[in-house]
Structure 1
Amino acid sequence: MGTHNHHHDYNFSEKFQFAGIGKILSLLGIAVGVIAIVIGLMSSDHIMVERTYANLLLMGYYFTCVCAAGAFFVALQIVTQSSWSAGLIRIPQAMSSILPIASIILLIIVGLGLYSHNLYHHWNADGITDPNSPNFDKLVAGKSSFLNVPGFLIRQIIFMGTYSIFAFILAKLSYKEDLEGGLNSYKKSFKLSAIFLVIFGFTTPIWSFDTVMSLEAHWFSTMFGWYNFAAMWVSGLAAITVIVVLVKKAGYLGWVNENHLHDLGKLMFGFSIFWAYVWFAQFILIWYANMPEETVYFYKRFEPEYKPWFWLNIILNFVAPLLLLVDRDTKRKGNIMLFVSILLLCGHWLDYYVMIMPGTVDMHRGFGYIEIGTALGFVGLFTFLVMNKLSKHPLGAKHHPLLDESLHHQL
């Protein structure tokens, strides 16, 4: 491979200029989102208001998950001492740096969902845990030591607060490494990343149980946490890939090549299969056992307005990446990787849609501007915040101890 130092061939101090059409489109997306949400919330139709809250939860959770996946990516690369990703680490760092903002938005949404408009009515309705109330639900009352408003909010604050603190410190240490050089910051990052990964691994399933599974409090699945983790991780990888390809197209990241794209493609391919494995395992066990208390979850999703989405979910998130990324050459082409990544981001939006809507909207009979507008608003917000953050620091981690290996990376 050779050991020639290529540092002088590239300008690692270059900064991304966030301007022009990208910035305009992101601000336009935010404006469209705000208008759609305001119209939905001001509607006199109860179902429209329900749909708006459900879409806010969907996109708030998705936004936070993708940012958390950025933090997970950074920590994972440090602990595994992966060299291939050293040249593009600034992108997941930018995603993880806006995790505090995403977390605050999600906290506001779940707070409103609990108090002003009851998204979590399956376990938070009046009298549901009171034996003397006509609304008493014995099953939910049995879970009330875990499913209660103070416990729910405290867990949300602890989980998202912890993820945000680690994401912030890891990014800060990396930028400090740029200024000081040496291994001091990297060694600190290694220890912190190891601690973060243990915390993240044990708490993300509980976070998904709270935020999404408790929307249908009678039903539970021990696989649900890993199913959500797989969706989060694939979505995060797809977001990183989209940004890498678009930033390269804009003339930056000259040191990132098809070998790095290939690695991102392999991860998306592998974890799309893992996502499908967990999805299938959860589905087939419940379908085969045919227990009424379990099958009710899938029965709802087999109703006419959800059934096409239910099967399209599998096509977008398993069949498409399987067929499009199985070939070596396709994983090395920027345009194909961009297409597959956008397809997967849309696919996992649909995945969360199928998870959230049937349990939150009692009489869902529509798909329209609320769903599309809310999604565009959050995509615009994510783009604006991440790209703005990316423009604040050099694109190259010039003192990363494994950068040389990243420059020589070949597959």
Structure 2
Amino acid sequence: MKTHNNFDEQFEFAGKAKTWSLAAIAIGVIVIALGFITGQVERTFSNLLLMGYYTTCVSLAGAFFCAIQYVTQSGWSASILRVPHAFIKILPIPAIILVVIIIAGLTFTQTIPNEEGHNVVAPYLYKIWGQHEITKAGTEGYDAIIAGKSGYLNLGFFLARVIGFLLAYILLSRLFVKYSTNEDELAGMSNYDKSFKLACVFLVIFGFTIPVFAFDVIMSLEAHWFSTMFGWYNFAALWVTGLATMTLIIIYLRKQGYLAWVTQDHLHNMGQLIFGFSVFWTYLWFAQFLLTWYANIPEETAYFYKRWEPDFKPWFWLSIVVNFLTPLLVLMARDSKRSTAILQAACVILIVGHWFDYFQMIMPGTVGHFSEWFVAVSWIEVGTFIGFAGLFAFLIFTALSKFKALAPKNHPFLQESLHHHI
């Protein structure tokens, strides 16, 4: 084992990485502006919601990663904790962006025909339950199903839940970073013990609320339909994409000469987690689909029927094929998880693959139909993805550059991590 590791090294965010991330942000801003200018308002709002939710979920995965490591008292991950810590530090920004998108999507309205053919005023997002007078009996827009859910699906309670959940995640998770940085200065076990207790509390709150967060932000786009498995299905996607993104960042830092103490054994562990939870995601996807297909209840099958329309069906099947077969065929072998190039390629594929997963969750319930399946993904989708990817990269690398050191040098399990071997 090398003994000359510099645990005081500080990441410098400059050069091509900074230039490319800023260029990507500029592309995203231009594309989003053009989307509104060209009259594709609903489609632009849908893509903003998709990417706002995606980046928030990936950032949340950093908090969940830290909580899992502390509550299980894992040693192997101690030397890479600064990466998920950076995810925690940037979480407020995608969270605020997501809330702004949701509020704007609920505020700006359009006139559309409802299921009975009457013209109603509805917001660009959450147009089923957000329609004006939808819960008022005797009006043209009245919907008995939504009226029955109005105690839960109303604007005030909806926003209170979304904002409340995000505030709880932000405030609790930032303590992980605080305790870790205090640990660097003070040493001892006091801050680690605080992190352990915090992780126990965080996981209870996170476990009970993250499915509801998914119900609110995504499932309520199609408020006539519901699935009790939807929240855990979204959690699995959150966890896999977060792990894949963390792995890519660790690989990038190693290539730039940082994190010299991170070995193929650490990457092997990340690959194992990605593989295992990709299979878990597939199980939840299949269980939700199979139960709906087998029961064949009209109000439930309507959700999948939309996704079997010609304009969405190729993307529907592409999502399951990419997100299941990639880890199954590429990451199952031990040697694959220990190959930086293969692991890096698998992570990129999964990040894009789960974008398709979120795409087919959101678009059929917002935009509705496209003329052909191959125009469903256009310059708006690509440009918005590039913009948010650039923003995420810029925020993450800026956050990493703010740490005094890239290793939690007084973590009690740091030596175990440095000598990790599997």
TM over 0.5: yes
1:55 to 47, 58, 62: 47
C-alpha contact (below 8 Å) 1:358/1:364 kept by paired residues: no
Aligned to 1:147: 153
Aligned to 2:253: 247
2:395 to 385, 396, 400: 385
1:7-406 correspondence runs (5 A): 8-44=3-39, 48-117=40-109, 118=123, 119-365=125-371, 366=375, 367-393=377-403, 394-406=405-417
Aligned to 2:114: none
C-alpha contact (below 8 Å) 1:129/1:140 kept by paired residues: yes
TM-score normalized by the length of structure 1:
0.97
C-alpha contact (below 8 Å) 2:311/2:369 kept by paired residues: no
Deviation, 1:333, is 1.1
Deviation, 1:362, is 2.9
Deviation, 1:14, is 0.3
For 1:206 and 1:291, locate their aligned partners in 2 and report how far apart those are by CA, in whole Å: 23
Tell me the number of residue pairs that the alignment of Structure 1 and Structure 2 aligns. 403
Q: For residue 321 of structure 2, give the secondary structure of its aligned residue in structure 1.
A: helix
Q: Match of 1:249, as an amino acid?
A: K
Deviation, 1:364, is 3.2
Deviation, 1:211, is 0.1
Q: Match of 1:257, as an amino acid?
A: T
For 2:132 and 2:151, locate their aligned partners in 1 and report how far apart those are by CA, in whole Å: 16
For 1:170 and 1:253, locate their aligned partners in 2 and report how far apart those are by CA, in whole Å: 20
Deviation, 1:132, is 1.5
For 1:113 and 1:156, locate their aligned partners in 2 and report how far apart those are by CA, in whole Å: 14
Deviation, 1:60, is 0.1
Structural RMSD (CA): 1.0
Question: Equivalent pairs: percent with the same residue?
Answer: 54
C-alpha contact (below 8 Å) 1:99/1:167 kept by paired residues: no
Q: For residue 84 of structure 1, give the secondary structure of its aligned residue in structure 2.
A: coil
Instruction: Report Cα offsets for 1:239-288 as digits up to 9, x if no partner.
Output: 00000001101111010000000100000000000000000000011111
Deviation, 1:184, is 1.2
Instruction: Report Cα offsets for 1:14-36 as digits up to 9, x if no partner.
Output: 01111111111100110000000
Instruction: Report Cα offsets for 1:277-312 as digits up to 9, x if no partner.
Output: 000000011111111111110110011111110011
For 2:337 and 2:365, locate their aligned partners in 1 and report how far apart those are by CA, in whole Å: 37
Deviation, 1:328, is 0.2
For 1:288 and 1:192, locate their aligned partners in 2 and report how far apart those are by CA, in whole Å: 42
Q: Match of 2:108, as an amino acid?
A: S
Q: Match of 1:17, as an amino acid?
A: E
TM-score normalized by the length of structure 2:
0.94
C-alpha contact (below 8 Å) 1:234/1:271 kept by paired residues: yes
For 1:25 and 1:172, locate their aligned partners in 2 and report how far apart those are by CA, in whole Å: 30
For 2:415 and 2:4, locate their aligned partners in 1 and report how far apart those are by CA, in whole Å: 12
Gaps of 5+ in 1: none
For 1:207 and 1:327, locate their aligned partners in 2 and report how far apart those are by CA, in whole Å: 35
Q: For residue 120 of structure 1, give the secondary structure of its aligned residue in structure 2.
A: coil
